[in-house]
Amino acid sequence: MRKRLSLLTLVFLLLFCTTPASAADPIQVFYEGPDGNVLTALSLSDTIELVSDPLQADVFVLNGEIPDSDTVLKQVRLGAGLVLILGPDISASDLEPFTGPVVVTVSEEPLSLVAAEGVTDPLITEITWTSSPQVRSRSVLSGEVSFLDPIIVGFEEPETLLSSGNLGEGQIFLLNIHLDGANPQLQDWAYFNYLIYHLASQAAGLSPLDYASYRASPVPHEVDRAVLLSVMAGLVFLSFLIFWFV
């Protein structure tokens, strides 16, 4: 009887006791902006850690405001990433240190989002942009910003809505769509949280998880499926052993 109990205990331990996987160092993100959906999206990822010291940041996520542009620009040129989300209060003079001379106008006309022609960025393959809602409030830039390559553009109008490039040693993403106080449908979109996570990860020079593996995506994850299958298999096996020994 003792041998049978020992065997059952051993089987239980093998099936249900696992060693937690070690986590990689999180991305240090300095965030500036409203306490809204962008901040929530950053907080959902276990690979992102918010920091209050800009000198510790791997990535700056600036949502609708640009604090201390000299410090941000210096750190980006040294290799930090930047996700710059434009807002109605960001003027051409605010942008000039990052983009050069531009003219900024605000548009409220509805616009559909499509991938720029010929782009192979992972943002295109991981996000189904044809499912995105139209956007309204956004900043339209006029001027030569040659180092930024379009990723997402307008369907009805040839506007660049998301672009990327290198500024010194750092990578920059420029999102022209206004968030938190505007475009609520986009922020309710199933891909919104993943979009913010993906931008921060890429800006840090890392390869983001695919959408199915991203923890906050509304799909069954590989670990969840594996655990569920292990539990089911374990229950079946234990039932067999109990039937066999009784």
What is the C-alpha to C-alpha distance for residues 178 and 149, in angstroms, rounded to an integer?
A: 19
61 CB-contact burial (10 Å; exposed 0-12 / middle 13-18 / buried 19+): buried
Average pLDDT (14-42) is 78
- Residue 201 has a pLDDT of 97
Going by C-alpha positions, the residue among 27, 26, 149 that lies closest to residue 80 is 27
- What pLDDT digit, counting tens, does each position of 145-204 carry? 888 999 999 999 989 999 999 999 999 999 999 998 899 999 999 999 999 999 999 999
Q: Where are the domains of the chain?
A: 2-21+221-245, 27-203
Residues in the chain: 246
Q: Mention every residue, 6+ apart, whose C-beta is less than 8 A from residue 126.
A: 194, 198, 208, 210, 211
Residue 120, number of CB atoms within 10 A of its CB: 8
Which residues does residue 138 pair with via DSSP β-bridges, in sequence order?
A: 107, 177
Strands 103-107 and 149-154: what pairing? unpaired
What is the C-alpha to C-alpha distance for residues 197 and 208, in angstroms, rounded to an integer?
A: 8
One-letter amino acid for residue 54 of the chain: P
- Residue 230 has a pLDDT of 52
Q: Mention every residue, 6+ apart, whose C-beta is less than 8 A from residue 6.
A: none
- What pLDDT digit, counting tens, does each position of 61-91 carry? 999 999 999 999 999 999 999 999 999 999 9
One-letter amino acid for residue 168 of the chain: G
Q: Which residue has the tokens 């990578």?
A: 171
Going by C-alpha positions, the residue among 30, 28, 80, 79 that lies closest to residue 54 is 30
Asked if 82 contacts 72 with a C-beta cutoff of 8 angstroms, the reply is: yes
What is the C-alpha to C-alpha distance for residues 26 and 28, in angstroms, rounded to an integer?
A: 6
**Percentage of residues of the chain with pLDDT beyond 90:** 71
Q: Which fold has domain 27-203?
A: Rossmann fold (3.40.50)
Overall pTM > 0.75:
yes
- Would the pLDDT of 223 be above 90? no
